[in-house]
């Protein structure tokens, strides 16, 4: 029986080939990837509902005309909600007027307003292991919206309505992440020059300059932005996590330590930090970032545990975990989001979790007791490592 394709596979086709040959490296175009993109990702009624919502306001909304931002006073208004006033609520009439004058409407964080977009972001995040945010672009006929630039993130462009002409250039090496503006003569010959139609997907790696213009029809596209992390980002998270350990919270008495004593002590502390970094690095490659599905699954699991006290519950492991014993007698459980250090008496129960894809809750309760089992499974559910729902 054929397995259901992931959202990444629907976007790019062969995900293994894409991640090895294109991801972070070069632009990629796939025709007709999402043939029902309009209805599935962002329908016109959903777009209209978002633009007319009293909850819409900057920074979720901005307008760009001839490559320059439009001042907020030209598309917002003051409204009253209950007893409070909002001074910068979106004004649909002013937005329409600016759109008619050539302004592109940009909806940043579109996943906060449209459920189907949020689900797409979450599905892509699950495949890529990085945060994903959505930006909607509504460009009037004959306008470019943004000037030639590159983005500080990796972007999947999904055309949902109308069409848009794109020029994409080779990725510029060594970009710091800032979005620079270019002139037409800076970029040379585009590596992709095409017109996107509804359902087409265009991947833009970070640092790839591009420019797009709507032809004779209005264009609506959704950009799914993947916020990939640098080595510095990964190291920062790892060091911050390691430094939370109690052993690094002691304050040295600089009045009683001479230079040689201080040097000897700092070497010991550095060695302990190195050990902590070794412990924490195994589960960091992917999966540190939470999602709407992960949050709802964790809450549902905790509720299920409380509701079925004394009854049988099946627990499913959602992520790979690694269990190891330490010289001091404690045990360490590594999961993608954290490294958990626990007393030795937890080792048999943790072995059940590490070795079995699913297990009856009673199997762990027999080893730890009800209270400790509920606390442990609840904690692992909060990290997305286990669930009482089939993952």
pLDDT at 1: 35
pLDDT at 177: 66
Q: Name the phi and psi angles at 246, rounded to 5.
A: -60, -30
Q: For the chain, how long is the longest CA-to-CA vector?
A: 78
pLDDT at 2: 43
For residue 195, CA distances in Å to 30, 35, 209, 298, 305 come to: 12, 16, 17, 43, 53
Pairwise CA distance, residues 340 & 282, whole Å? 12
The whole-model pTM stands at 0.75
pLDDT at 103: 97
Pairwise CA distance, residues 126 & 132, whole Å? 9
Pairwise CA distance, residues 18 & 199, whole Å? 18
pLDDT tens for the 391 residues of the chain, in order: 344 588 999 999 999 999 999 999 999 999 999 998 878 899 999 999 999 998 999 999 999 999 899 999 999 999 999 999 999 999 999 999 999 999 999 999 999 999 999 999 988 988 888 899 999 999 999 999 889 999 999 999 999 999 999 999 999 887 766 677 787 678 889 999 999 999 999 999 999 999 999 999 999 999 999 998 888 888 888 888 788 778 888 899 999 999 999 999 999 999 988 888 877 665 555 545 545 455 666 777 777 777 766 567 899 888 788 898 888 889 999 887 678 899 999 999 999 999 998 999 999 999 999 889 988 998 888 887 888 865 5
pLDDT at 388: 82
Report whether 7 contacts 41 (CB < 8 A): no
Pairwise CA distance, residues 8 & 125, whole Å? 9
Instruction: Extract the tokens encoding 370.
Output: 């009800």
pLDDT at 370: 87
pLDDT at 297: 64
| Nearest to 361, CA basis, from 350, 348, 373, 378 | 373
Question: Which residues make Cβ contacts (< 8 Å) with residue 101, sequence separation at least 6?
Answer: 65
- β-bridge mates for residue 135, sequence order: 108, 223
């Amino acid at each position: 029986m054929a397995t259901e394709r992931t959202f990444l596979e629907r976007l790019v086709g062969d995900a293994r080939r894409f991640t090895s040959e294109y991801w972070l490296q070069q632009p990629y175009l796939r025709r007709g990837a999402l043939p029902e993109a309009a209805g599935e990702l962002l329908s016109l009624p959903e777009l209209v509902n978002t633009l007319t919502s009293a909850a819409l306001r900057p920074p979720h909304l901005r307008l760009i005309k001839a490559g320059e931002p439009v001042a907020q006073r030209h598309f917002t208004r003051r409204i009253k909600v209950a007893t409070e006033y909002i001074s910068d609520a979106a004004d649909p009439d002013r937005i329409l007027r600016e759109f008619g004058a050539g302004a592109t409407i940009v909806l940043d964080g579109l996943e906060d307003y449209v459920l189907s977009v949020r689900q797409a972001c979450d599905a892509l995040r699950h495949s890529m292991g990085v945060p994903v945010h959505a930006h909607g672009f509504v460009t009037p006929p004959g306008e470019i919206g943004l000037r030639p630039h590159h983005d500080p993130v990796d972007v999947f462009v999904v055309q949902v309505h109308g069409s848009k002409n794109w020029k994409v250039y080779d990725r510029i090496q060594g970009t710091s992440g800032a979005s620079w503006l270019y002139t037409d003569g800076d970029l040379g010959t585009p590596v992709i020059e095409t017109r996107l139609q509804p359902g087409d997907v265009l991947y833009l790696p970070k640092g790839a300059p591009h420019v797009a213009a709507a032809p004779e029809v209005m264009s609506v596209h959704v950009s799914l932005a993947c916020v990939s992390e640098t080595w510095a980002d990964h190291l920062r998270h790892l060091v911050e996590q390691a430094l939370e350990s109690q052993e690094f919270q002691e304050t040295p008495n600089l009045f009683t330590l001479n230079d040689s004593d201080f040097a000897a002590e700092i070497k010991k502390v550095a060695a302990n930090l190195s050990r902590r970094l070794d412990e924490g690095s195994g589960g960091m490659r992917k999966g540190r970032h939470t999602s709407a599905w992960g949050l709802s699954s964790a809450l549902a699991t905790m509720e299920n545990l409380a509701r079925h006290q004394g009854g049988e519950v099946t627990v499913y492991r959602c992520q790979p975990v690694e269990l190891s014993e330490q010289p001091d007698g404690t045990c360490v459980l590594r999961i993608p989001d954290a490294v958990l250090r626990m007393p030795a008496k937890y080792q048999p129960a943790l072995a059940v979790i590490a070795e079995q894809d699913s297990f009856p809750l009673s199997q762990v309760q027999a080893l730890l007791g009800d209270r400790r089992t509920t606390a442990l499974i609840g904690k692992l559910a909060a990290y997305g490592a286990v669930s009482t729902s089939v993952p």
